Amino acid sequence: MGLFVDLAVHLSIWLLALPAHLLDFLGLWEPLAMLLFPHLFVKLAVDYHAALHSCKKELFSCLPDFAGPSGRLKVLELGCGPGSNFPFYPRGAKVTCTDANPHFQEYLRKSQAENDHLHFEPNLVAPAENLSEVDDASVEVVVSTAVLCSVNSVEKALKEVLRILKPGGAYFFVEHVCADPSTWTYIFQKIYDPAWKNIFGGCNLCRETWKDLEKAPFSEMKLQHIRAPLPLQPTAPHIIGYAIK
Ligand SMILES: C[S@@+](CC[C@H](N)C(=O)[O-])C[C@H]1O[C@@H](n2cnc3c(N)ncnc32)[C@H](O)[C@@H]1O
């Protein structure tokens, strides 16, 4: 039964992508995709979030280790979308939410109201590659989950992460990545990638994001390759961990 549901999902992706390709060709797709993607994401990401719940819970349990001497913990989240990570953040943390897409704000504000254990700074609509409104060395922690797959430049986004982190601060990531080329998942990723990008807000299935992280000048990194329990899903292979400035 699960297999048939997955195949139906994959077939729907192909069918959904046909008009998107046409609109993209005419230069009309990007603004429409920005508008539609938040509504699609909140509906379709339920299983995805459930599959990663326990891994995220474990990873984020060490966020308090990075609090400053007064116990202050300033967290900046890149591409926070509807704000699904807030329940994992420790009580009293000051959180700045950033995202390139302004159309997530309605969902984001709802999630912020539901997570009153946190203090929220004003939301920033800004790309991860240019966070000029955020001061150098001003936050203890930066978080991204399922964002580096969509940014235009992973290298520029990581440069910004290193700029805004305090020395000793940490960048926490949970990102889906390119599969091992010897697997069926890799073949599925290559087949779906062009359609996937158009439907899911510019998301690339085949990024080897761990290579960008390894190249960036962090002082220390804990990075694990895991497979999220999402059968036949091209977004199953993940990297998860944190890198210290
Ligand atoms: C797949 S959603 C993930 C949302 C959220 N991080 C989560 O885990 O539920 C990808 C998010 O990245 C955002 N995004 C895409 N490109 C971006 C960029 N260049 N800078 C910042 N955010 C970006 C999208 O608007 C969207 O909110």
DSSP 178: P
- For residue 151 and ligand 1, the question of a CB distance below 6 A is answered with yes
Number of domains the chain is built from = 1
Protein residue with its CA nearest to atom 4 in ligand 1: 81
Measured CA to CA in angstroms, residue 65 lies from 141, 240, 244 at distances of 10, 17, 12
Domain range spanning residue 171?
2-244
Distance CA 71, CA 74 (A): 10
Q: 104 C-alpha to center of ligand 1: Å?
A: 9
- For residue 154 and ligand 1, the question of a CB distance below 6 A is answered with no
User: Looking at the whole model, is its pTM more than 0.95?
Assistant: no
- For residue 80 and ligand 1, the question of a CB distance below 6 A is answered with yes
DSSP 219: S
Nearest to 60 by CA among 118, 126, 133: 118
- For residue 179 and ligand 1, the question of a CB distance below 6 A is answered with no
pLDDT in tens, 16-55: 677 777 777 777 777 888 888 999 999 989 999 999 999 9
Measured CA to CA in angstroms, residue 47 lies from 68, 233, 239 at distances of 35, 11, 18
Q: 214 C-alpha to center of ligand 1: Å?
A: 22
Contact 91, 67 (CB under 8 A): no
Protein residue with its CA nearest to atom 15 in ligand 1: 150
Rounded to an integer, the average pLDDT of 186-192 is 90
What's the CATH code of the domain at 68? 3.40.50.150
Predicted confidence at residue 170, as pLDDT, reads 98
- For residue 111 and ligand 1, the question of a CB distance below 6 A is answered with no
pLDDT in tens, 7-22: 666 677 667 677 777 7
